[in-house]
């Protein structure tokens, strides 16, 4: 049997760090690969060796199979672990590794090919007796016929109107007829890849052309293949998946199910094992169906069979992910197994050990995915540099992170920062541990979904396990994110920042112990500082008079005020009659304050702001860095509120920037293919010209 001595990880971020951790424990040398954007990433530093890749664009880096194989050969690796995403489910890459004499840590290429196309996979599963949803493949030319001129090759930047209807060609008419047979609403899905990319819900016939065009572009960008298919859409089912594992000696088992129904944009954000909706009898049925699916393709290694579960507890096959899943840690925690170690052992030709064949469930595990994104802006990906990234090491908590304090979060790749996983004897114990850990996390420098995750974990419907994939359509994400935070937090945090700033200006305050109600021997003085918090202004006025301190925030007096300790980094004070500790960090004009109330980012405003820094009225600004994919309108077009104006691509997904109100587009400031930063003026919308 072959022995793996040095392993190249053909991936990045937290999964690369995760694989490196297990490989080192098994005395296997590790080789990281990195694009220029990832040169200083933590996983690169964790590896024994690292090889650079030629560019930041995925096609030049982590989707560049020849470059990855060359890197393995240059470093003397004898095996390649593909992680998840990128080339992890690419049969051609698996074959190329074998042709280069490298062990591919994954299933054989024929198994990847069998499941690589979701279209072929559904046909194979139906033949194997696994329940499937009605679906139909989109002929290659039909989707292209549905594309607007601006989306066709070589013409992506041209402005245009609405996409033409599907009935404009014979092929398109066939697609429309197939869609009608399936019924609306339906799903357009990428045939290759996953993670919610290349997926669109279509509720009306007239929206099908645009959905096909967008799904194909997104799938092409993320997976290198724009093939799509149509599938019946179940309204708010549960998303259940089953972990399977096979070896080369004929053993194939399942390791129970995972619940993955909490999703946004068809991407999972909270997963757990086992599912609160699956009784033992259904668990057995799901496991048997998953094993049957694996045997139908001769599966070896780690894989996942995904199902949807309707309200009557009928389940239907979705796909087989022929790789390790993002959410594999919850299975590891409830079974006590290391799935990466098992992958490496199976790749070496070893049989699955008895603890895998006889695995049992122990307790409950819940995973939350921390993303750099702006929840209030519709989950737009966020960029920036992490000023702080501290997840408290509470009991029962595991952290798989791809970043650290100082890491730059750019627009090139997936926006996930880390996975935080809690394990406990019961679901409620795991849920409570995870909520508390996330609430105490200090994450400064980029917008994140941290507050939303805490809000979900503490919400009653989730607590009771009564949820489905429609959870975040029934619950307002922004409201969930605010639900656990004290509404007075920004006011109190602004005062704490002002006091920390006062301490920073006094050298003796760095070691000074504060007496009740104030600093010793501080002369009488009035102080004023103004902060911005999410567009709201917070004016803090405070005055020391000997040992007495008084303060107002936006003119409202702060009652029961007494300082116990104040340094540039820590303020302990009685505010409104309650003693609280506030940790404070300043970076230029930015102040980050954390307490039991939550986290608040404040921007200190100058006394006399520069009037030239404002964009012209009516300017439509880029909400994130990205590339201009398409211009949807031309100057002079009258538009209604919500009309897409410019489409940006960031982190492998498309994002439409829409008109905030009715008006006339007076100017387009960007062109197709242009790179833009946050705040770049994309277009100018004249509200006064509406209706002329």
**Catalytically annotated residues:** 323
Among the listed residues 121, 457, 160, 437, the one whose alpha carbon sits nearest the alpha carbon of residue 299: 121
Q: At what angle do helices 339-347 and 328-335 cross, to 10 degrees?
A: 100
- Cis preceding-peptide flag for 274 (omega within 30 of 0): yes
Among the listed residues 374, 453, 430, 266, the one whose alpha carbon sits nearest the alpha carbon of residue 624: 374
The three-point CA angle 203-134-121 to 5° equals 120
State the alpha helices, DSSP H only, in 485-534.
Answer: 489-504
Bridge pairing between strands 675-676 and 626-631: antiparallel
**Which pair of structure tokens corresponds to residue 616?**
């012209």
User: Phi then psi for 105, rounded to 5 degrees?
Assistant: -85, 85
**Which pair of structure tokens corresponds to residue 598?**
């939550």
Cβ neighbour number for residue 587 with a 10 Å cutoff? 12
**Which pair of structure tokens corresponds to residue 460?**
């009653």
> What b/e sequence results for 149-164 when a residue is b if at least 16 CB atoms lie within 10 Å of its CB, and e otherwise?
ebbeeeebebbbeebb
3-state secondary structure of 64: coil
Alpha-carbon gap, residue 652 to 675, rounded angstroms: 14
Segment 678-682 long-range contacts (CB within 8 Å, at least 24 positions apart): 678/383, 678/621, 678/622, 678/623, 678/624, 678/625, 679/615, 679/621, 679/622, 680/621, 680/622, 681/615, 681/616, 681/619, 681/620, 681/621, 681/622, 682/620, 682/621, 682/622, 682/628, 682/645, 682/646, 682/657
Q: In what order do the strands lie in the sheet with 49-52?
A: 49-52, 29-34, 6-9, 79-81, 103-104
Contact between 352 and 251 under an 8 Å Cβ cutoff? The reply is: yes
Q: What is the DSSP letter of 235?
A: S
Among the listed residues 529, 536, 544, 539, the one whose alpha carbon sits nearest the alpha carbon of residue 586: 529
Contact between 579 and 597 under an 8 Å Cβ cutoff? The reply is: no
Alpha-carbon gap, residue 85 to 439, rounded angstroms: 29
End-to-end CA distance of the chain: 78
Alpha-carbon gap, residue 209 to 204, rounded angstroms: 10
Contact between 538 and 593 under an 8 Å Cβ cutoff? The reply is: no
DSSP state string for 103-153: EESSS-HHHHHHHHSHHHHHHHHHHTT--B--EEEPPHHHHHHHS-GGGST
104: left (phi over 0), alpha (psi -120 to 50) or beta: beta
Task: Find tokens 């975040």 and name the residue.
Answer: 472
Contact between 43 and 37 under an 8 Å Cβ cutoff? The reply is: no
């Amino acid at each position: 049997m072959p022995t793996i001595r040095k392993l190249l990880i053909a991936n990045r971020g937290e999964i690369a760090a995760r694989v490196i951790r297990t490989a080192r424990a098994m005395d296997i040398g590790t080789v990281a690969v990195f694009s220029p954007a990832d040169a200083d990433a933590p996983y690169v530093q964790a590896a024994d060796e690292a090889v650079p890749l030629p560019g930041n664009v995925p096609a030049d880096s982590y989707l560049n199979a020849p470059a990855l194989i060359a890197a393995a050969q240059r470093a003397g690796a004898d095996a390649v672990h593909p992680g998840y995403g990128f080339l992890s489910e690419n049969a051609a890459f698996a074959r190329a590794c074998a042709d280069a004499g490298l062990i591919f840590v994954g299933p054989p290429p024929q198994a990847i090919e069998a499941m690589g196309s979701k279209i072929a996979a559904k046909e194979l599963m139906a033949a194997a007796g696994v329940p499937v949803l009605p679906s139909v493949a989109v002929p290659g030319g039909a989707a292209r016929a549905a594309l607007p001129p601006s989306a066709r090759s070589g013409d992506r930047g041209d402005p245009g109107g609405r996409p033409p209807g599907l009935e404009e060609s014979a092929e398109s008419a066939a697609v429309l007829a197939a869609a009608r047979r399936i019924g609306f609403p339906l799903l357009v899905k990428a045939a290759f890849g996953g993670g919610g990319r290349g997926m669109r819900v279509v509720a009306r016939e007239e929206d099908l052309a645009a959905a096909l065009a967008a799904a194909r572009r997104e799938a092409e960008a993320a997976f290198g293949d724009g093939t799509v298919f149509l599938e019946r859409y179940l309204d708010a089912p549960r998303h259940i998946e089953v972990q399977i594992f096979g070896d080369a000696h004929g053993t194939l088992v399942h390791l129970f199910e995972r619940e993955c129904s909490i999703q946004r944009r068809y991407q999972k954000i909270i997963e757990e094992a086992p599912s609160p909706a699956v009784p033992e009898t259904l668990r057995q049925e799901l496991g048997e169906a998953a094993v049957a699916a694996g045997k139908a393709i001769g599966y070896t290694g780690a894989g996942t069979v995904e199902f949807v579960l309707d309200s009557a507890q009928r389940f239907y096959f979705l796909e087989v992910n022929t790789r390790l899943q993002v959410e594999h840690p919850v299975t590891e925690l409830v079974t006590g197994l290391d799935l990466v170690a098992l992958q490496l052992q199976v790749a070496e030709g070893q049989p699955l050990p008895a603890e895998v064949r006889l695995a049992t469930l122990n307790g409950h595990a819940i995973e939350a995915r921390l993303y750099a994104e702006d929840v209030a802006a519709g989950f737009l990906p966020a960029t920036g540099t992490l000023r702080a990234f501290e997840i408290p090491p509470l009991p029962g908590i595991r952290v798989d992170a791809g970043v650290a304090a100082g890491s730059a979060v750019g627009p090139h790749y997936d926006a996930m920062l880390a996975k935080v996983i809690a394990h406990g004897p019961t679901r409620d114990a795991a849920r409570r541990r995870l909520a508390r850990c996330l609430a105490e996390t200090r994450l400064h420098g980029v917008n994140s979904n941290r507050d939303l995750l805490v809000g979900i974990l503490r919400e009653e419907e989730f607590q009771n396990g009564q949820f489905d994939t429609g959870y975040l359509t029934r619950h307002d994400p922004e409201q969930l994110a605010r639900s656990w935070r004290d509404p007075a937090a920004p006011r109190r945090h602004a005062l704490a920042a002002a006091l920390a700033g006062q301490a920073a200006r006094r050298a003796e305050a760095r070691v000074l112990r504060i007496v009740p109600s104030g600093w010793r021997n501080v002369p009488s003085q009035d102080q004023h500082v103004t902060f911005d918090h999410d567009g709201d202004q917070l004016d803090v006025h405070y005055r020391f008079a000997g040992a007495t301190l008084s303060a107002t925030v936006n003119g409202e007096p702060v009652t029961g005020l007494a300082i116990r300790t104040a340094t540039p980094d820590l303020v302990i004070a009685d505010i409104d009659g309650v003693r609280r500790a506030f940790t404070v960090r300043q970076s230029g004009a930015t102040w980050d304050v954390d307490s039991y109330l939550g986290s608040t980012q404040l921007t200190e405003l100058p006394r006399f702001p520069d009037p030239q820094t404002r964009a012209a009225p009516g300017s439509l600004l880029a909400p994130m860095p990205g590339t201009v994919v398409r211009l949807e309108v031309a100057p002079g077009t009258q538009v209604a509120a919500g009309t897409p104006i410019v489409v940006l691509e960031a982190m492998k997904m498309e994002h439409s920037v829409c008109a905030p109100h009715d008006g006339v587009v007076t100017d387009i400031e960007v062109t197709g293919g242009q790179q833009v930063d946050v705040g770049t003026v994309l277009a100018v919308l004249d509200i006064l010209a509406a209706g002329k």
